[in-house]
Amino acid sequence: MSGQKETLTFQAEVSQVLNLVIRSLYSNKEIFLRELVSNASDAAEKLRFEALADDALYESDPDLRIRLHIDKDANTLAIEDNGIGMSRAEVGETIGTIASSGTKKFLAELSGDQTKDSALIGQFGVGFYSAFIVADKVTLETRRAGLAAAEGVRWESGGEGSYTLETIERAQRGTMVTLHLNEDAKDYLESWRLRSVVNKFSDHIAIPVEMLEEPPAPPPAADDDKKDDAGDDADKKEAEKPVPEWKKVNTGTALWMRNKSDLKDEEYQEFYKHISHDFEEALTWAHNRVEGSHEYTSLLYIPGRAPFDLWEREQKHGVKLYVRRVFIMDEADKLMPRYLRFIKGVVDSDDLPLNVSRELLQEDKKIDNIRSANTKRILGLLEKLAKDDNEQYEKFWGQFGNVLKEGPAEDYTNREKIGGLLRFASTAEGDPTHVSLDQYIERMVEKQEKIYYITADNLAAARNSPHLEVFKKKGIEVLLLVDRVDEWLVSHFMEYKDKKLQSVAKGELDLGDLADKEDQEKAEKASEEHKHFLERVKTALGDSVKAVRVSTRLTDSPACLVVEQFDMSQNMARLLQQMGQGAGGPAPTPTMEVNLEHPLIGQMDQEVDEDQFADLAKLVFDQALLAEGGQLKDPATFVHRLNRLILELQNSKSAVAESA
């Protein structure tokens, strides 16, 4: 198909991204330059990396650089790099298509509400398409390093639905993106304007960004310097006209190699946007140089906002690996544990070999060391944030808290540190939603030894659960764990600062020294006295319960369901079911605890009709399940049963009225 010009239509998602980008970024046009220069710099880094294995890829042009071309007559601004370039197939795959399944899903979820959608744009890199904020038409010409001159490609589009693709001759490798500027973007043709944008956004790009600069006119030439065959005036003028030269306009050193004290916050933020493709600012960062047995520099950022694909299966890691300033790989997942995959940044090692591969990283001791140092650094940074700036920390927690909760399961060594960073809703006064375990421990009542929690589907279900009744009565705070990942968390995180975490819905209620001796004895006595009743209930309920016993947890509710200490919680069983995972096995059979003080239970005890009794027992069981946020296996039967009882109640009332 070589040479042939094709007209193709954008994928529906691309058109969507284009519209979104143009609409939402119009007031912040200049970021197009950051995005295109970033791409150019990435392309240069990729070339440098591939050339490690194949020197010939440099061709005759080893000095990597980015050039900005202004053409006032043609109204164009072009960004040119001599990086890796793209083949025709690569252009087709990257520009004009959206490869990431995450992006597709994300776009499908857009609401159509402009303001809301615009806020979301920051969640994915706007990338190449930002060119259309300033251009009516974009022409991209490129050739992959290593391919022949005849295998160049031209891609062109007006940004509306379609683009053309053709094979061209292109003498040099790399990419040139030419923007045919729209009416509102003409000021980028002024070199001072362009220069200021480069300084703002791309100063830290490690390769030179160059612009043409007219050297100052030479001083009037002295007579004896005149060329001998004078006479042709025009020729002379031509010769004297200063030739513009390419001049570097950025600092051009990798930012992370610079001294902390020389760097301003804004520079760190710009660098963050460059490496993360995030549109918003980072929350905070840590910049460190490590010397000693092995040496490296790390610059790690905590983003301000979670990316839309944080929960994708093949989540991307955000740390790039460099070796002695040479870019080696993106998404170096060995440099950070999975539960910190949202961290963005750079690690630049002095000691790793340049030809290090992902497989080699797997086994490298140095990498293990870097990872554990990175982890400590980030956890330390978070601790400091939580201490110094709670508002910012809560912002962080809102975005990434659920990822951090994966930590205790993955990282045993730092379990306690992570524990200190966790936040939960709780039953404490004022309904707080961000209680730390340390705060909880501080508020523990006298004789309390455990950290009590309840897991549920949502806050309302947790707050109103019958399991909390005795805790309310005794004024003991209970943490309300309502995120899916919480079940996973508590199955791996069982202790914090020597205090056990205890579910209030598991096992026989063991309040330790908190228990009222009197209550306890009363319950034991009642169990003995009502043995027959408890057996009757068990018979009525059959296999749906493991046992029926007298409760010490309840004050207001007639009954509740509990599972054994080491059983999967009912909530966990529900979650697994929702996820379609029978793999967790069937839900554990609960034990029903009844509140003998409750009038309903008292009445049940009086019931002589066995059928009626069974109906009541089943109703009480179903209620207990509903009250803790569970779902009835057979809701219709529940409703019939309830209606039958209501009617009977009414009938007996009117019978009483008639006989009176």
- Lay out the site mask for ligand ADP across 250-289 (x = CB under 6 A, - = otherwise): ---------------------------x------------
Least distance to ligand ADP from the beta carbon of 49, Å?
Answer: 13
Query: Which residue in the shown chain puts its C-beta closest to ligand ADP?
Result: 127
CA distance 168 to 577: 57
Least distance to ligand ADP from the beta carbon of 562, Å?
Answer: 51
Tell me which residues in 77-106 interact with ligand ADP (CB under 6 A).
Answer: 81, 83-86, 94-95
Name the residue nearer to ligand ADP (CB basis): 173 or 553: 173
Least distance to ligand ADP from the beta carbon of 79, Å?
Answer: 8
DSSP for 130-178, please give it.
GHHHHEEEEEEEEE-TTS-GGGEEEEEE-SSSEEEEEEE--SSSEEEEE
Name the residue nearer to ligand ADP (CB basis): 307 or 419: 307
The residue from 31, 40, 328, 456 that contacts ligand ADP (CB under 6 A) is 40
Q: Among 347, 303, 300, which Cα is nearest to 327's?
A: 347
Name the residue nearer to ligand ADP (CB basis): 175 or 570: 175
Among the residue ranges 22-30, 39-47, 211-219, 405-413, the one whose residues contact ligand ADP (CB under 6 A): 39-47
Contact (CB, 8 A) for 189 and 85: no
Query: What is the token pair recorded at 95?
Result: 């520009």
CA distance 108 to 117: 11
Least distance to ligand ADP from the beta carbon of 94, Å?
Answer: 4
Least distance to ligand ADP from the beta carbon of 180, Å?
Answer: 18
How far separated are the first and last CA of the chain, in Å rounded?
A: 99
Least distance to ligand ADP from the beta carbon of 130, Å?
Answer: 8
Q: Among 86, 188, 201, which Cα is nearest to 144's?
A: 86
Among the residue ranges 111-119, 125-133, 320-328, 535-543, the one whose residues contact ligand ADP (CB under 6 A): 125-133
- Sheet containing 282-290: give its strands across: 282-290, 296-303, 344-349, 318-323, 326-329
Least distance to ligand ADP from the beta carbon of 181, Å?
Answer: 19
Q: How far, CA to CA in Å, does 119 sit from each of 20, 122, 159, 279, 636?
A: 10, 6, 22, 10, 44
Least distance to ligand ADP from the beta carbon of 117, Å?
Answer: 18
**Strand 135-143 versus strand 152-157 pairing type:** antiparallel
The residue from 127, 252, 420, 432 that contacts ligand ADP (CB under 6 A) is 127
Name the residue nearer to ligand ADP (CB basis): 35 or 615: 35
Burial class (CB in 10 A: 0-12, 13-18, 19+), 621: buried
Least distance to ligand ADP from the beta carbon of 95, Å?
Answer: 6
Name the residue nearer to ligand ADP (CB basis): 125 or 407: 125
Least distance to ligand ADP from the beta carbon of 85, Å?
Answer: 6
Least distance to ligand ADP from the beta carbon of 305, Å?
Answer: 16
DSSP one-letter code for 292: S
User: How many other CB atoms are there within 10 angstroms of residue 560's CB atom?
Assistant: 26
Name the residue nearer to ligand ADP (CB basis): 131 or 534: 131
Q: How far, CA to CA in Å, does 660 sit from each of 48, 171, 212, 407, 570?
A: 100, 108, 107, 69, 49
Name the residue nearer to ligand ADP (CB basis): 83 or 590: 83
DSSP for 563-580, please give it.
B-TTSPPHHHHHHHHHTT
501 forms beta bridges with 451
Least distance to ligand ADP from the beta carbon of 510, Å?
Answer: 54
Least distance to ligand ADP from the beta carbon of 108, Å?
Answer: 19
CA distance 615 to 611: 6
- Sheet containing 591-594: give its strands across: 548-550, 591-594, 559-562
The residue from 10, 31, 33, 39 that contacts ligand ADP (CB under 6 A) is 39
The residue from 128, 285, 296, 613 that contacts ligand ADP (CB under 6 A) is 128
CA distance 169 to 323: 35
Name the residue nearer to ligand ADP (CB basis): 18 or 418: 18
CA distance 200 to 33: 10
- Lay out the site mask for ligand ADP across 212-251 (x = CB under 6 A, - = otherwise): ----------------------------------------
Contact (CB, 8 A) for 293 and 349: no
Least distance to ligand ADP from the beta carbon of 461, Å?
Answer: 41
Name the residue nearer to ligand ADP (CB basis): 94 or 392: 94
Name the residue nearer to ligand ADP (CB basis): 86 or 381: 86
Neighbouring residues of 560: CB distance < 8 A, sequence distance ≥ 6: 465, 466, 467, 505, 551, 553, 554, 592, 593, 624, 627, 628
CA distance 452 to 480: 9
Regarding 173 and contact with ligand ADP (CB under 6 A), the answer is: no
Name the residue nearer to ligand ADP (CB basis): 13 or 438: 13
CA distance 57 to 50: 8
Name the residue nearer to ligand ADP (CB basis): 43 or 418: 43
Name the residue nearer to ligand ADP (CB basis): 277 or 344: 277
Q: What is the amino acid identity at position 377?
A: R
Query: What is the token pair recorded at 496?
Result: 């914090």
Q: Among 85, 70, 89, which Cα is nearest to 39's?
A: 85
Q: How many residues does the chain have?
A: 660
Q: What is the size of the binding site for ligand ADP (CB under 6 A)? A: 16
SS3 127: helix
Name the residue nearer to ligand ADP (CB basis): 310 or 573: 310
The residue from 175, 375, 402, 552 that contacts ligand ADP (CB under 6 A) is 175
R_g (Cα) of the chain, nearest Å: 35
Least distance to ligand ADP from the beta carbon of 39, Å?
Answer: 3
Binding site for ligand ADP (CB under 6 A): 35, 39-40, 43, 81, 83-86, 94-95, 125, 127-128, 175, 277
